[in-house]
Amino acid sequence: MPLSPLDIHNKEFSRAFRGYDEDEVDDFLERVIQDYEALIRQNKELEEEIERLQEKLRHFTSIEESLSKSIIVAQETAEEVKANARKEAQLILKEAEKNADRIISEALQKSRKIAQEMEEVQKHAAIFRARFRSLIQAQLEMLESSDWEAIEKDGGLPWRVTEQVRAEAE
């Protein structure tokens, strides 16, 4: 067990014939006691400082562990977000493709319908043109016929021209 300053202070030496000077020994022991007390105080302060630093170290170690766990959680969350975003992008792409296919299909149907209607209009136009041509030709023939001379002479329409006009009007 180490000596305490009190042990040093209370230490009694036996006296011998040609011994040391008592005052000199007492002064030296007093200096040893002061130095020893200072060392004990310094040692105690250093131990307290070590304890305080160890507490800080434990605190920072705890923070480091928390940060490490947080980083891992953040990385996992980021990976989840990326995976979800990829899945959502794929769903959006598939939906867009379906919509595009539907729009194209509808456009093709409309195009076919318009083409059919166009053919019908062209047929009707051709029929109308043929009938109109036929009517105009009939009128031209009538104008060029010799029956007009008879009209001019008789003052009336010939029977054959009247019947032809009625038939064409119907």
What's the pLDDT at 156?
A: 54
Look at residue 19 and give its three-state secondary structure. Answer: coil
Q: Which residues span the domain enclosing 112? A: 5-169
In tens, the pLDDT along 57-76 reads: 999 999 999 999 999 999 99
What's the pLDDT score for residue 31?
87
DSSP string, 89-141: HHHHHHHHHHHHHHHHHHHHHHHHHHHHHHHHHHHHHHHHHHHHHHHHHHHHH
Higher pLDDT, 26 or 53: 53
Q: Count how many domains the chain has.
A: 1
Over residues 84-109, mean pLDDT: 96
